[in-house]
């Protein structure tokens, strides 16, 4: 690790950014690029990782919690999002495995019931198709969705 090429002011700034909310290495790299940072970005990011300001496992867990709780995304969509951020598969799997199945199914059921109330379709088969398409777009697995759709009618 070469500290000689790291701008101390930029390092402090990125520490502040990382302290406010969880960030991954790609987020910080993009931030540095946007700020036209001309120093050694790789060394700066490595320093943040060593100091614990950036942690991919912690970031993945935070994203899983936030996307489930606030955005109501399914596991497939969250996985795709995290892969796009460059998070390793182990960290993604570890974070997704912390989600309890009963809670996850309850989220899906509530979202499907909410969507069902907005549908004007009268044909039962077409309603189920629309609900399935909605659920797939949200990243929910078809197996769970089929089971829930059969339960709610």
* pLDDT tens by residue, 35-83: 999 888 999 999 999 999 999 999 999 999 999 999 999 999 999 999 9
DSSP 71: I
C-alpha–C-alpha distance, residues 54 and 46, integer Å = 9
Domain with 85 in it: 57-96
Answer yes or no: do 41 and 65 share one domain.
no
Answer yes or no: do 33 and 68 share one domain.
no
2 inside domain: no
Residues 115 and 148: beta-carbon distance below 8 Å: no
29 inside domain: yes
136 inside domain: yes
Sequence-separated (6 or more) residues with CB below 8 Å from residue 22: 55, 58, 59, 62, 63
Q: With DSSP H G I counted as helix, E B as strand and the rest as coil, what are the percentages for the chain, rounded to 5?
A: 75, 0, 25
- What's this model's pTM, rounded to 2 decimal places? 0.89
DSSP 121: -
120 inside domain: yes
């Amino acid at each position: 690790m070469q500290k000689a090429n790291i701008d101390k002011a930029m390092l402090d700034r990125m520490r502040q950014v990382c302290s406010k909310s969880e960030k991954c290495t790609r987020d910080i790299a993009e931030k540095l690029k946007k700020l036209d940072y001309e120093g050694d970005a790789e060394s700066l990011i490595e320093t943040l990782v060593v100091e614990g300001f950036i942690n991919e496992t912690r970031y993945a867990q935070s994203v899983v919690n936030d996307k489930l709780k606030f955005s109501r995304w399914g596991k497939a969509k969250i996985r795709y999002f995290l892969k796009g951020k460059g998070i390793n598969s182990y960290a993604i799997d570890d974070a997704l495995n912390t989600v309890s199945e009963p809670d996850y199914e309850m989220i899906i059921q509530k979202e499907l019931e909410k969507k069902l109330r907005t549908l004007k379709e009268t044909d039962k088969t077409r309603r189920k198709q629309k609900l399935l398409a909605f659920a797939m777009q949200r990243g929910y697995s078809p197996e769970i969705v089929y089971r829930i759709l059969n339960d709610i009618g």
